[in-house]
Amino acid sequence: MKRFKNILALYGDMIGADDVFHQAVALASANHARLTFVDTLPERYTTDAEVKERLKRLTRLVPAIKAEGVSDVDVKVLVGQPFIEVIRQVIRADHDLVIASADGGRSLRDFYFGSTATHLMRKCPCAVWIVQPEQLPNYSKVLACIDPPPGDDGESELDRKILDLATSLARSGEAELHVIHAWEVEGPDRDTMRSEISDAMRQSILAKHEDKHRARVAALLAHYSLADLKHETHLPRGAPQAAIVQAVDEHGIDLIVMGTVCRTGISGLFIGNAAESVLSAVRCGIFTVKPRGFQTPVMILNDNEEQRAVEAHV
């Protein structure tokens, strides 16, 4: 997969840091990409000595990284709120991918709620790969979560981005590709389904709407040559969160590719809803992407306001 060329990996003393390290190095080596490892420290009570010690720890990683074929390596220690400083670094250096652990914080609250991971999924302007602790760098089954809208003939930009990435990941990892689209009855038929109707009419309505959604997915997949990939398509009826979690369990999915910002609608994926619910419910990696035009709420400070950052260029 030759897609990402400027990767940032969040590394520190959180659970899963070693998993982030191995995944980031493997991907950077495969992509001949620039790789930056960053650690973060809170601004309050942090001393210069602590910053320098963290920087030394990061610098010790460099020989092992270069031994894996990654020649362009940088390390940084950022001081401040972790997700804010990571996003500022993304903006400053134009990173195209962030890799972080599902446990992106150091507090008990962060451990249970994954605050850094969820903030990055919501607000980071580039793609974010959340690695679960003890997840192997190699993955065998990739799940692409799509939501093609009515009448777009397979041209949904976010869905295309998800499938571009998922097919690329599946090919590079020689993995199976699974495509899922959760759907529900739409329009006036939704009210009809709540009425007292015969089983035959209910089944007829369900079949009609499933066929419509199947046609949308087919129009989208028609843009891809999948003959070289083992692949399956799943069209469960119901909420996307539950459908994705069930598919992960049933099919042994290692990596989910999904959007974290999407339109509203019955089967839409929402910030703070599907992606984050899935993150808290599965033990596999989640690769999230944003639509074109997404704007992060995090701002770069000017020179007088910029928080302290110590950098080592190797």
Domains in the chain: boundaries: 6-134+295-313, 141-282
The amino acid sitting at 157 is E
pLDDT at 96 over 60: yes
Distance CA 43, CA 85 (A): 11
CATH number for the domain running over 141-282: 3.40.50.620
11 in Cβ contact with 37 (< 8 Å): yes
What is the torsional sign of CA 149, 155, 157, 161? positive
pLDDT at 279 over 90: no
- Exposure b/e, 287-308, CB count within 10 A at least 16 = b: bbbbeeeeebebeeeeeeeeee
Distance CA 299, CA 88 (A): 7
Distance CA 122, CA 113 (A): 14
- What phi and psi values does residue 121 have, to the nearest 5 degrees? -60, -40
pLDDT tier, 75 (very low <50, low <70, confident <90, very high otherwise)? very high
**What's the pLDDT at 118?**
85
Tokens of 235: 């069209």
123-168: pLDDT as tens digits: 899 999 999 877 666 789 999 999 988 766 656 889 999 999 999 9
**What's the pLDDT at 225?**
93
**What's the pLDDT at 272?**
46
210-242: pLDDT as tens digits: 999 999 999 999 999 999 999 999 999 998 888
**What's the pLDDT at 267?**
38
Residue 122 Cα distances to 65, 84, 87, 103, 110, angstroms: 29, 12, 11, 16, 16
Task: Quote the percentage of the chain above a pLDDT of 90.
Answer: 59
Read off the pLDDT of each residue in 306-314 and give the average, rounded to a whole number. Answer: 42
Q: Which of 257, 82, 291, 38 is nearest to 164 (CA)?
A: 257
Read off the pLDDT of each residue in 100-107 and give the average, rounded to a whole number. Answer: 65
pLDDT at 103 over 80: no
* Average per-residue pLDDT for the chain: 84
* Residue with the larger pLDDT of the pair 277 and 120: 120
Q: pTM score, two decimals?
A: 0.84
* Residues 6-134+295-313, CATH architecture: 3-Layer(aba) Sandwich (3.40)
Read off the pLDDT of each residue in 96-106 and give the average, rounded to a whole number. Answer: 78
pLDDT tier, 266 (very low <50, low <70, confident <90, very high otherwise)? very low
Task: Quote the percentage of the chain above a pLDDT of 70.
Answer: 83
* Residue with the larger pLDDT of the pair 118 and 154: 118
Read off the pLDDT of each residue in 79-95 and give the average, rounded to a whole number. Answer: 94
**What's the pLDDT at 113?**
42
10: DSSP letter: E
pLDDT at 254 over 80: yes
